[in-house]
C-alpha cells in the first residue's frame, strides 16, 4: 500500500465543516505530515500557517487528497484531480455520502487507519462530453456521475435522436436523457428510474427522463461505447447539457453531443471495511421497514 506523506485538503463552507476541518488538521499535524490547503479551505481557516495551492495544482504535489463535504464537493474535486492520478478520500459533511463515506466522528480512527496503509482503492471512470455546432466544438466538460441533456424548461418536452457507436437507436420526445456511469447510478439516474450498477462494472446507463413513449426504458451499454445525441431542428428551446449538475453547456437545435469514457480514472480511497452493498442498505434504506418475524417461542 502507498504511504501518504503530502496531504491535500479540499472543502467548502457548510454546516459543521470548519469544526471537521480543524479536527482533521489536528490529526494530520500530529503525524507530522505535510498539509496543503486549497483556496476555499484556506479562506475558512484564518491564521492557519499552512501551504495553500489552487485546486487544479494539488494533484501535482500531494499523494493523497482529502475532501471534506458532500458528494458534490467530491464530484467537483474529481474533475480537476483525475488527470494527476492522485487518490481521493471523502469525509462526509453532506447528506447521502455515497462517495464521502467517512463520518466526522470517525476521523481519528478511519482516516488514521488509511494513513497507516489500511484502505481499499477503487478506480472509477469519468465521462467526457463535447458539443459540436456546424462541425466546430463549442463546449466540453467531464463528469464522474452523469451527463444530462434536458429541455431546460419545466413541463416542456424536447426532441432528440440517440446513436450508440454510430448506430441509430431512436428519436425521442421527453424531458431529456441521462447518460451515467456506475458511480452516478445511485444519484440523479436512480431518481429517474435507472438501474443501480456496481462500481466495478465497465458500463454506461442511458436513462430517458419522462419519455412520451411509455415503452422507452433505460439501456445499459458497454463502457467504451460512444453515445451521440442530436438536438432536433424541431425544438423551440435551447436545451442545456450539464455535467454532474455543476457544468452547463447551452445547446441549439442542430447541435451534436458526444459522450465518451475519459482515459484517466479517479482513484477513490475507502476504509478497509467499505462495502458497496452496505452503503446501499444504509443510504437507500434497504430492508429498513421490514416487519420483524414472529417468534416461535
Q: Residue 43: inside a domain, yes or no?
A: yes
For residues 133 and 256, state if they share a domain.
yes
Counted domains in the chain: 2
Same domain, 13 and 29: yes
DSSP assignment of 192-261, as one string? TTPPP--TT--EEEEEEES-SSTT---EEEETTPPEEEEE-TT-SS--EEEETTTEEEE--TT-EEEEEE
pLDDT in tens, 71-86: 888 998 888 888 888 8
Q: Considering 39, 47, 71, 294, which one is annotated as catalytic?
A: 71
Q: Is residue 190 part of a domain?
A: yes
Model confidence pLDDT, tens digit, residues 11-70 = 887 778 899 999 999 999 999 999 999 999 999 998 899 999 998 889 889 999 999 998
114 and 151 inside one domain: no
The reply to whether 248 and 278 lie within a common domain is no
CATH number for the domain that contains residue 257? 2.60.200.30
The verdict on residue 293 lying in a domain is no
- Residue 292 included in any domain: no
The whole-number pLDDT of residue 80 equals 84
Residue at 297 is within a domain: no
How far from each other are the two terminal CA atoms of the chain, in whole angstroms? 50
What pLDDT, on a 0 to 100 scale, did the predictor assign at position 295?
45
Provide the residue range defining the domain that includes 64.
6-118+272-284
Say whether both 84 and 140 belong to one domain. Answer: no
Mean pLDDT of the chain, nearest integer:
92
Distances in Å between the alpha carbon of 235 and those of 19, 31, 185, 209, 289?
Answer: 49, 59, 28, 16, 45
Within this chain, do residues 205 and 95 fall inside the same structural domain, yes or no?
A: no
Residue 153 and residue 52 share a domain: no
What is the structure's pLDDT at 155? 72
Residue 297 clears pLDDT 50, i.e. is over it: no
**44 and 14 in one domain?**
yes
User: CA of 83: how far to CAs of 47, 59, 89, 247, 278, in Å?
Assistant: 31, 8, 16, 18, 30
Residue 12 backbone phi and psi in degrees, to 5:
-145, 160
- Same domain, yes or no: 132 and 229: yes
289 assigned to some structural domain: no
Same domain, 132 and 259: yes
3-state secondary structure of 168: strand
In a domain, 103, yes or no: yes
- DSSP track, 282-294: HHH-TTTTPPPPP
User: Taking a C-beta distance cutoff of 8 angstroms, is the pair 101, 122 a contact?
Assistant: no
250/156 same-domain check: yes
Give pLDDT, residue 198. Answer: 97
Summarize the confidence of residues 220-236 as an average pLDDT: 96
Mark whether 146 and 241 lie in a shared domain. yes
pTM for this one? Answer: 0.91
3-state secondary structure (DSSP) of residue 146 = strand
Cα separations in angstroms, 218 against 11, 170, 189, 206 = 34, 13, 10, 6
Does 3 score more than 90 pLDDT?
no
- Helix, strand counts (H, E) of the chain: 7, 17
Q: How many CB atoms are closer than 10 A to CB 258? A: 17
Residue 219 lies in a domain: yes
Say which CATH number the domain at 278 has: 3.40.50.10330
Q: How far apart are CA 190 and CA 196, in angstroms?
A: 7
Catalytic residue check, 116: no
Amino acid at each position: 500500500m502507498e504511504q501518504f506523506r503530502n496531504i491535500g485538503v479540499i472543502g467548502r463552507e457548510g454546516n459543521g465543516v470548519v469544526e471537521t476541518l480543524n479536527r482533521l488538521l489536528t490529526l494530520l499535524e500530529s503525524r507530522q505530515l505535510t498539509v496543503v490547503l486549497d483556496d476555499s479551505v484556506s479562506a475558512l481557516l484564518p491564521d492557519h500557517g499552512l501551504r495553500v495551492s489552487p485546486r487544479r495544482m494539488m494533484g501535482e504535489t500531494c499523494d493523497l487528497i482529502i475532501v471534506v463535504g458532500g458528494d458534490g464537493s467530491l464530484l467537483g474535486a474529481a474533475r480537476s484531480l483525475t488527470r494527476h492520478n492522485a487518490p481521493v478520500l471523502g469525509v462526509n459533511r453532506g447528506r447521502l455520502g455515497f462517495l464521502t463515506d467517512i463520518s466526522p466522528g470517525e476521523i481519528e480512527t478511519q482516516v488514521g487507519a488509511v494513513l497507516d496503509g489500511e484502505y481499499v482503492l477503487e478506480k472509477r471512470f469519468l465521462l467526457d462530453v463535447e458539443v459540436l455546432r456546424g462541425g466546430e466544438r463549442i463546449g466540453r466538460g467531464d463528469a464522474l456521475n452523469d451527463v444530462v441533456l434536458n429541455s431546460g424548461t419545466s413541463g416542456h418536452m424536447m426532441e432528440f435522436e440517440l446513436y450508440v457507436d454510430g448506430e441509430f437507436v431512436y428519436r425521442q420526445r421527453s424531458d431529456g436523457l441521462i447518460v451515467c456511469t456506475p458511480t452516478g447510478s445511485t444519484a440523479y439516474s436512480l431518481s429517474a428510474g435507472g438501474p443501480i450498477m456496481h462500481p466495478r462494472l465497465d458500463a454506461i446507463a442511458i436513462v430517458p427522463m419522462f419519455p412520451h413513449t411509455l415503452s422507452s426504458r433505460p439501456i445499459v451499454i458497454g463502457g467504451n461505447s460512444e453515445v451521440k445525441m442530436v438536438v432536433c431542428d424541431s425544438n423551440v428551446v435551447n436545451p442545456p447539457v450539464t455535467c454532474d449538475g455543476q457544468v452547463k453547456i447551452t445547446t441549439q437545435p442542430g447541435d451534436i453531443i458526444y459522450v465518451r469514457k475519459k482515459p484517466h480514472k479517479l482513484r477513490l480511497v475507502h476504509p478497509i471495511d467499505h462495502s458497496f452493498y452496505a452503503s446501499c442498505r444504509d443510504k437507500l434504506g434497504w430492508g429498513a421497514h421490514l416487519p420483524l418475524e414472529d417468534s416461535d417461542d
